[in-house]
Amino acid sequence: ELGIDYELKKYDRSPIMAPPEYKALHPLGSAPVIEDGDVKIAESGACVEYILQTHGNRKFGIQPGHKDYAEYLYWFRKLCKRHSAARFTTLGNLSLSRSGIGKGHESVKRCDARRKQILDFVDRRLSKVPWLAGEQFTAADIMNVCCLTTMRCFVQYSLGGYPNILAYLKRVAARGGYRRAMEKGDSNLDVDELIGAKPPPFYKHIRVALQARGRI
């Protein structure tokens, strides 16, 4: 989106989570990690904020005093923290599934109910505005789109019944920056599948693990 030249280094999973050499990049084994000269910084929210402030020339951010600043701040931070509601629900559901706990288990039901509550909330928001922060595409959209697309390759759920989210994802996918990023980082994934109502196919290592447990 910013037109900045950068090198993307990819690591093979081991077998599902990050390999040791990637975890070694940060004392806490956090991901993602970016390096800019002598600077090394981890966690997606911090990475995006750093790029915006040092290379973004205020593009894709909203400054204090703007009418949409509060919404931007909220949506930017909603999914960028490890224990935010949506990401916690997704990862929690994955852990339960990998532990062999069935869909009828109370813990899984709570995860599903929480995810539905979040998706309902997001869909209502997008019924009022084209982008999460308001009328313009911002880093808030960059921070959130992965949990509505790529993360569904890890924990499958349908977006049927959420027409505003689906329309939003089409707008995101129409952006050249998104297409270029996906081609560079996840060329094995089909964007049209990611943005559709039907869950995209499981990530291959997740599929193998679930098959081994007789879950799919």
How deeply is 32 buried, as exposed, middle or buried, from its count of CB atoms within 10 A (0-12, 13-18, 19+)?
A: middle
pLDDT tens for each residue of 152-170: 888 788 999 999 999 999 9
210 pLDDT exceeds 50?
A: yes
| Listed residue (36, 37, 13, 38) closest to 23, CA to CA | 13
Tokens of 115: 């995810």
Report the alpha-carbon distance of residue 167 to residue 202 in Å, rounded: 23
Cis peptide before 201 (omega within 30 of 0): no
Report the Cα–Cα distance between both ends of the chain, in Å, rounded.
Answer: 38
Number of C-beta neighbours around residue 58 at 10 A? 9
Name the residue with higher pLDDT: 79 or 30.
Answer: 30
Share the mean pLDDT of the chain.
84
40 bridge partner residues? 35
CA 32 to chain centre: 12
Query: Burial code of 37-47, b = ≥16 C-beta within 10 A, e = fewer?
Result: eeeebbbbbeb
Structural fold of domain 83-212: Glutathione S-transferase Yfyf (Class Pi); Chain A, domain 2 (1.20.1050)
CB 53 within 8 A of CB 45: no
Q: What pLDDT is recorded for position 34?
A: 93
pLDDT tens for each residue of 62-80: 999 999 999 999 999 875 4
Q: What pLDDT is recorded for position 154?
A: 80
Its CATH class, for the domain covering 1-59, is: alpha beta
pLDDT tens for each residue of 114-146: 888 889 999 999 999 999 999 999 999 999 999
pLDDT tier at 82 (50, 70, 90 boundaries)?
A: very low
Kindly list the domain boundaries of the chain, sorted by start residue.
1-59, 83-212
Question: What SS3 class is residue 71?
Answer: helix
> Residue 102 corresponds to which amino acid?
G
Q: What pLDDT is recorded for position 216?
A: 60
